[in-house]
Amino acid sequence: MRKYLLIILVFHFAAIRSNAQHGLVAPPSFDTTTTVDSLTFPDLGMYPKKEQPVLYTFKVGGFYRFFGTYTAHKQSYLLTEAGMDTAMQKSVFIGDDSQLPNLTLNFSGRPSEKVSWGFDLYAFQFLDGNINTTYGMGQVSPSNRPSIYAPLNGTRFASNLNLLLGINMYGDFQTDFASVSVKTGGIHWVSISDLTLKAFTGYNRFTLFERNPWDPVTGTVESRYHSFHSLGNINQDTRWGEKAFTGTIVELGQLPGDLSAKLLYGKTELNGGFLTIPNLSFGGQVKAPLRSGFTAFNTFNNQTYTDSLNEEGIGFNIATWEISTPIVKGLEVHSEIGMGRYFSPEYENQWGEAINVKFNLTDELIKFPIELHLFRVSPRVINNNAIFWNSAIVETRNNSIPAGSVGSSAALFPFASSLTAIGQFTNNRQGLNINADFGKKDLKVSIANGISAEIDALSSQVSFGHPVNQLTRSRFWRWNFPTGVGPYNRYNVIFRDVYEILTIAGPPIAKKFNVMEVQAKYRGLLGLRDFYAFLLGRYSSVQDHLSPIVVFTEEAFLRHYSTELEMYYALNPNTVITAYSGYERVLGNYSTDIDSETDRPRNQEGWGLGLGLDYDLSRNTALYLRHRWFDFKDKSFEKDAFSGTETVVEIKLSF
């Protein structure tokens, strides 16, 4: 044993001597004044390491999304009567005409533990089918093409490979007083509260068959459907439930008293535009924690001018107080109450109330959770950036750009009295919604019933959408959001949706609305493989009297029913077969629009069938295929009919 120890010691001292002779490490001289931190040691060994004075971290991430559609129409469908423009019989479209980014890059760094920075770069490929106009050139000779060594020289391809929304920049700072977050430039996604600044998310009652641009790539394609069944929701990116805002956002946290604050100054997508006159939105929030919940003061405002001298202003103001806290065990309340107004040279400047209160009865108090939702929004209150729509005030135009064109303020004209989903509402409306959830294991059911009424009789029109084939229908019109299109000029195109206008004969009345929603989610085994089935039904009516439930007779001016069923079969966690079926029925009574040839009111029927495949190509990369058969017809208004097929291919990569 001593022999082996002697050999080890000889080799150890020989190695130290050899390293010293080659200048690798000088043997330290130990004395009573030398500390371990002041010594220089090799990189190997058991000694503590000290971080080098370089950038703490630097990361690059993002995603790329390829999206293509092929549509085939069996019959001619009139898109605009004025130009006699019809849908193309067959079309291939590469890209997403919602102008959401194909490529997103996120750069971030942390130079110290208390400071971080970052910026986002969005790129969008603008292809409109006209090669020469889009690229600004014909064929480029090989000799004039840019080289990889000088890419800025020569004639470049894709001159319209544009940046979408610019570049976002943000930074976070930790101080002794507070944590500070600053965001500026480009477009940021932010929210304050339901009545001030927020996008509608509902109660997660939606279908998953057709993906949204903001749907992220999950760990496995099956996990998306598993989460929807087990948790009631799915993963979404930063845009879900948020509003687009450009300008400057400052967020303060860890203030004295555990207060937090949020300040916004800039523009939203609805109150922005291309005006050279002052046009801005501003607002914020001050939030304080409670023992179990929070309380907050919220405000959001817009100021625009109709003239370059800034003498005639238009805009709105809204301010609310919000509180979320338990009242007793098993009973929680979330309320937001405030005041708002709209002002313009043509409109009387008066304030009105806005009330949004929810009472949640949890399973600690009753066997199944129930939510009671009370709301009332005065016809004087307007805020196009909140979860309620404007159906009462015709806003002042500050330019003459036609509706549907970029920068047009005509897009801010109000919706007609609208059929809305549970949880979403309009101004000039008050009502009550009841939500209940049942089931704990394989089968889960959610039921909701809503009753509402208009406060003042302002409009003889009702607007409604078409959930079945909603996105397919919206893709008939590319790039713009026109109004008064389609057969009979009664469709209006909005972001990823199309809504229709129905007119009630006679003077305006204060209409009453009913809506019922049913959602069922099932998960089980089929041939030892996971099988998911999701059912979503919406049933609504509009009439001249209050009713506890949906009116299913001709007493209703409008009856609107839709049922959608989707199924998912997981061959394995990385491969899922998808299927969809939907059916809708829309009926008007004889107090509404009558066709001059058939002498009958609306009698619409639509259906959609779909098959698809989700497949994980590799880690963080997935392929999504969807094929849909669609059909719609109005038996009374014969021109309003279309049918065909649509195939969608999406490849999404996150990194």
Q: Residue 451 corresponds to which amino acid?
A: I
- Which is it for strands 260-268 and 103-112: parallel, antiparallel or unpaired? unpaired
- CB neighbours (10 Å) of residue 233? 13
CB distance 104 to 124 below 8 Å: no
CB distance 289 to 258 below 8 Å: yes
What pLDDT is recorded for position 141?
Answer: 65
In what helix (H) or strand (E) does residue 280 lie, and over which residues does it extend?
A: strand 279-290
* C-alpha–C-alpha distance, residues 237 and 189, integer Å: 10
In a domain, 461, yes or no: yes
pLDDT digits (tens, 9 = 90+) for 479-489: 777 888 999 99
The pTM of the full predicted model, rounded to 2 decimals, is 0.81
**Residue pointed to by tokens 């956002």:** 249
Which tokens hold the place of 451?
Answer: 């009753």
For residue 651, the SS3 value is strand
Angle (CA) 27-31-35 rounded to 5° is 80
Reference 276, options 304, 314, 243, 240; nearest CA is 304
CB distance 369 to 363 below 8 Å: yes
Q: Residue 564 corresponds to which amino acid?
A: E
CA dihedral 458, 379, 550, 546 (to 10 degrees): -80
What pLDDT is recorded for position 6?
Answer: 46
Query: In this structure, are 34 and 77 located in the same domain?
Result: no
Task: Determine the distance from the C-alpha atom of residue 102 to the mean position of all C-alpha atoms in its chain, rounded to a whole number.
Answer: 16
Query: In this structure, are 95 and 33 located in the same domain?
Result: no
Query: In this structure, are 24 and 78 located in the same domain?
Result: no
In a domain, 298, yes or no: no
What pLDDT is recorded for position 154?
Answer: 67
Reference 433, options 444, 425, 418, 422; nearest CA is 422
In what helix (H) or strand (E) does residue 229 lie, and over which residues does it extend?
A: helix 221-230
* Residue 458 φ then ψ, to 5°: -115, -25
Query: In this structure, are 645 and 567 located in the same domain?
Result: yes
In a domain, 273, yes or no: no
Query: In this structure, are 496 and 423 located in the same domain?
Result: yes
Largest separation between any pair of C-alpha atoms in the chain? 113
Outline where 104-252 has alpha helix (H). 131-135, 221-230
CB distance 229 to 530 below 8 Å: no
CB distance 430 to 455 below 8 Å: yes
What pLDDT is recorded for position 407?
Answer: 45
What pLDDT is recorded for position 604?
Answer: 97
What pLDDT is recorded for position 413?
Answer: 58
Query: In this structure, are 6 and 94 located in the same domain?
Result: no
What pLDDT is recorded for position 277?
Answer: 67
What pLDDT is recorded for position 275?
Answer: 57
Q: Residue 608 corresponds to which amino acid?
A: G
Name beta bridge partners: 355. Answer: 337, 376
In a domain, 413, yes or no: yes
In a domain, 44, yes or no: no
* C-alpha–C-alpha distance, residues 570 and 578, integer Å: 9
In a domain, 322, yes or no: yes
For residue 4, the SS3 value is helix
Reference 210, options 479, 607, 609; nearest CA is 609
pLDDT digits (tens, 9 = 90+) for 125-184: 555 444 444 444 455 566 776 776 776 676 655 444 434 445 778 899 888 889 999 998
- CB neighbours (10 Å) of residue 29? 7
Query: In this structure, are 650 and 562 located in the same domain?
Result: yes
Domain that holds residue 34: 2-38
* C-alpha–C-alpha distance, residues 458 and 508, integer Å: 6
In a domain, 621, yes or no: yes
Query: In this structure, are 93 and 24 located in the same domain?
Result: no
Total domains, the chain: 2
What pLDDT is recorded for position 58?
Answer: 84
pLDDT digits (tens, 9 = 90+) for 69-101: 999 999 999 998 877 889 999 998 887 766 677
For residue 390, the SS3 value is coil
The distance in angstroms from the start CA to the end CA of the chain is 56
Report, as ranges of residue numbers, the positions in the chain whose pLDDT lies below 70. Answer: 1-56, 97-99, 124-142, 145, 148, 151-152, 154-166, 271-277, 307-310, 397-413
Name beta bridge partners: 61. Answer: 106
Outline where 528-574 has alpha helix (H). none
Residue 478's domain is classified under what CATH number?
Answer: 2.40.160
In a domain, 371, yes or no: yes
* C-alpha–C-alpha distance, residues 484 and 81, integer Å: 9
